[in-house]
Amino acid sequence: MTVPAAQAEPARAIMIELFPEGFEELDRDDGVELAAYTDPAGEERLWAAFGGVRSNVVADGWEDRWRAFHRPVRIGPLWVGPPWEEPDAGAIAVVIDPGRAFGTGSHATTRLCLELMLDLPRSSLLDAGCGSGVLAIAAAKLGFEPVHAVDVDAQAIEATVRNAEANAVSIDANVADALTDPLPSAECAVVNVALDLDRPIAERLDWTRLVTSGYLASETPDLPGYRREARREAEGWAADLHIRTQ
């Protein structure tokens, strides 16, 4: 099924709940396509959640095609990819197992956040809404320290811890609601969630630098007390670097 880009985040949350074993995501001209390999019972759950889906019979060998869907990406010195791909020689490898649907680094918003992070002074960092942990792990590999990660979903934290161990980096990862629970102090925060969550998270602590994403290029977060220092755009999505001014 395809959902408008503005509705992608809530749709992903539903898909994670329905299919914690994983699902696929593809950017389309008219939005974001979400697909799950499932049985008739799973199809019924999709109908109940979304009110309309398209189903196709999948031929044998879909497991290999699913792997082919997850391709590595290169962002400056960073190589981000799945464990069955070989990192580029000399690259800083961030290996993310896409067995669960929390992000593997290929989505435009993740890449844009990483581009902005490359130019930041190395300091303490919080990844709020960490998903698979790709941004937190990349930060640790780039020299940010200490690195904290929080997510409201316990399975996301499990994925972050597992991926951090596979990458041999130290990350303080905890289940927490970034809107209400106490958050660790950090010089920099990365918030790749949704536009309506950026401001309430930004207001919670006095971040010196704040990277936000998860919204369309036509949208801009309104963050009192910050000025926008830089913007990156790709595939209709945007990410911004904000500097605290007060």
83 sits in the region (left: phi over 0; alpha: psi -120 to 50; else beta) called: alpha
Whether residue 99 is predicted with pLDDT greater than 70 in this model: the reply is no
103 sits in the region (left: phi over 0; alpha: psi -120 to 50; else beta) called: left
For residue 30, give the DSSP letter.
T
User: Which is more confident, 7 or 22?
Assistant: 7
pLDDT of amino acid 101 = 45
Q: Which two tokens stand for residue 221?
A: 């977060």
User: Which is more confident, 54 or 240?
Assistant: 240
Q: Out of 13-17, 91-95, 233-237, pick the least confident.
A: 13-17
What is the biggest distance separating any 2 CA atoms in the chain, rounded to whole angstroms? Answer: 59
Asked if residue 72 lies in contact with residue 96, where contact means CB atoms within 8 angstroms, the answer is no
Q: Out of 46-60, 69-83, 108-122, 226-240, pick the least confident.
A: 46-60
pLDDT category of residue 235 using cuts at 50, 70 and 90: confident
Q: So where are the chain's domains? A: 2-66, 102-244
Query: Of all residues in the chain, what percent carry a pLDDT higher than 90?
Result: 54
User: Which is more confident, 33 or 61?
Assistant: 33
Question: Quick one: which of 110, 97, 212, 214 has its CA closest to 155?
Answer: 97
pLDDT 10s digits, 114-173: 999 999 999 999 999 998 899 999 999 999 999 999 999 888 899 899 999 999 999 999
CA distance 224 to 238: 19
CATH topology (fold) of 102-244: Rossmann fold (3.40.50)
pLDDT category of residue 212 using cuts at 50, 70 and 90: very high
Residue 242 DSSP SS3: strand
